[in-house]
Structure 1
Amino acid sequence: MKTIITDVFFDLDHTLWDFEKNSALAFETIFKNYQIEIDLDKFLVHYVPINLKYWEMYRTEQITQTQLRYGRLKDTFDLIQYQIDDDKINFLSDKYIYYLPKYNHLFDGTIEILEYLKPKYKLHIITNGFAEIQNNKLNNANINHYFQTITNSEMAGVKKPNPIIFQHALVKSKAKKENSIMIGDCIEADIYGAIHSGFDAILFNEHKKTIPENIKQVHHLLELKEHL
């Protein structure tokens, strides 16, 4: 007998909210406004993988939020041999956090799939992002009204894939794990985290990376209609 899904939990960054596009726009604005003479494309080639590495360390409790925000910029500036002092790095880090949620590009199909799902399921967010920034992203992108609950790592005290954050989301949403499904882009945090917490899960695999055959996946958000 097929399990009936009642509650759909989404990750936000890299799943609905186009982090890389919005991040690039934030840096473009910062470099222009504060006279940082760097080629944006050259900067991003290094920053994008460095940022992912730092988020992995943050997710696994190896570094603090402050170390994440400083280190990803420091390492990138060092790699491109751009001379900048620590005070300026911290200043730019603060400005990046300020500008980032002001951009609101979503992945193709986001609104359509949320419109499709909302009448059928209760929709929720589980994110490792910082509470204020994530709320601003949802509001500025005008998608906050689709979700009944928002669970972030600050309120849960842990980050995905820790089962505590999934349990926190269940309590907040009044959902049952056996009737819940998680959709996200990170196989470790979102998919394995959800599965180990008793959820079903679907990977948003936009870049078509090779993954284990037993993991359900979609390459475009509208493909979720085939599963839900």
Structure 2
Amino acid sequence: MKFNNIKHVYFDLDHTLWDFDKNSALTFDVIFKEENIGLEIQDFLDTYIPINIDYWARYRNNLVSKEVLRVGRLHDSFKAMKIQVSDEVIDNLSNRYISVLPGFNHLLQDTIEILDYLKPQYKLHIITNGFEEIQHNKMQNSKIADFFETITTSEEAGVKKPHFQIFNIALQKANATPENSIMIGDSYEADIEGAKNAGLQAVFFDYYGKNESRQVPQIQKLNELRKYL
């Protein structure tokens, strides 16, 4: 099934094109060594990842601020592991994480291939809830920035996905309409429901392979987009 009349393709960035999990793990390895925190990275990540996901869900729904997210996810992770880490060290880790993370440039499988395939036929764009100061750096360092006509961040828009206004702003920037636009992302709530509520078509990137029944087409590999575009 091909989508007809599509001219603009919008992507989420983290967990959709940019390999957040791998790059984040590499970042923690660097900053833990700097602070002499003798933890196995995987042991830490097993605790941290669900806590981080919960913080991002609350951030998306305006229940915590950016600063509370940055510090709280680390504080709660160390507390859950019963490891004493001072507030000063947590603050340092938080700042260094934001600084070091964009320096890693691993992309998810098929990213370059699918962007090369789509670029001649469509105008490509990014809509992301990630922090303004690092999303652009991630894209430059991973050498995908030139594929995209526009990048819309939640900080720029003043609202986060799934709020319809971030999609409206992204459409206006690209001189696009909902009818000729499609969104691809890994968060069903933020990317897919948000896009649908703004009138866009959508394809769900089932990054974690949950195989849940959804109301839109879903893929587990980016190259599967060739079936639809």
Q: Given the alignment of the two structures, is residue 73 of structure 1 paired with residue 74 of structure 2, yes or no? A: yes
Structure 1 Cα separation of the partners of residues 36 and 207 of structure 2: 34
Let me know the Cα RMSD of the aligned residues: 0.9
Aligned to 1:219: 220
Structure 2 Cα separation of the partners of residues 152 and 97 of structure 1: 16
Give 1:25 shift: 0.1
Aligned to 1:186: 187
* SS of residue in 1 equivalent to 2:10: strand
Aligned to 1:23: 24
Unpaired segments ≥5 residues, structure 1: none
Q: Do 2:27 and 2:101's aligned partners in 1 also have CA atoms closer than 8 Å?
A: yes
Aligned to 1:156: 157
Encode CA deviations 1:117-136: one digit per residue, 9 max, x unaligned.
00000000000011110000
Instruction: Specify the code of the residue in structure 2 equivalent to 1:37.
Output: G
Aligned to 2:49: 48
Give 1:32 shift: 1.4
Give 1:31 shift: 1.1
* SS of residue in 2 equivalent to 1:41: helix
Structure 2 Cα separation of the partners of residues 138 and 96 of structure 1: 17
* SS of residue in 1 equivalent to 2:151: strand
Instruction: Specify the code of the residue in structure 2 equivalent to 1:84.
Output: V
1:78-117 alignment to 2 at 5 Å?
Answer: 78-117=79-118
Instruction: Specify the code of the residue in structure 2 equivalent to 1:123.
Output: L
The structure 1 segments of at least 4 consecutive aligned residues displaced by more than 6 Å after TM superposition are: none
Aligned to 1:132: 133
Instruction: Specify the code of the residue in structure 2 equivalent to 1:18.
Output: D
Structure 2 Cα separation of the partners of residues 214 and 77 of structure 1: 38
Unpaired segments ≥5 residues, structure 2: none
- TM-score of the pair, normalised by structure 1: 0.98
* SS of residue in 2 equivalent to 1:47: helix
Q: State percent identity of aligned pairs.
A: 52
Structure 2 Cα separation of the partners of residues 166 and 192 of structure 1: 11
Structure 2 Cα separation of the partners of residues 55 and 213 of structure 1: 22
- Number of positions where the alignment pairs a residue of Structure 1 with one of Structure 2: 227
Instruction: Specify the code of the residue in structure 2 equivalent to 1:30.
Output: I
Aligned to 1:12: 13
Give 1:33 shift: 2.0
* SS of residue in 2 equivalent to 1:181: strand
* SS of residue in 2 equivalent to 1:224: helix
Give 1:95 shift: 0.4
- TM-score of the pair, normalised by structure 2: 0.97
Instruction: Specify the code of the residue in structure 2 equivalent to 1:153.
Output: S
Q: Do 1:74 and 1:89's aligned partners in 2 also have CA atoms closer than 8 Å?
A: yes
* SS of residue in 2 equivalent to 1:14: coil
Structure 1 Cα separation of the partners of residues 148 and 35 of structure 2: 36
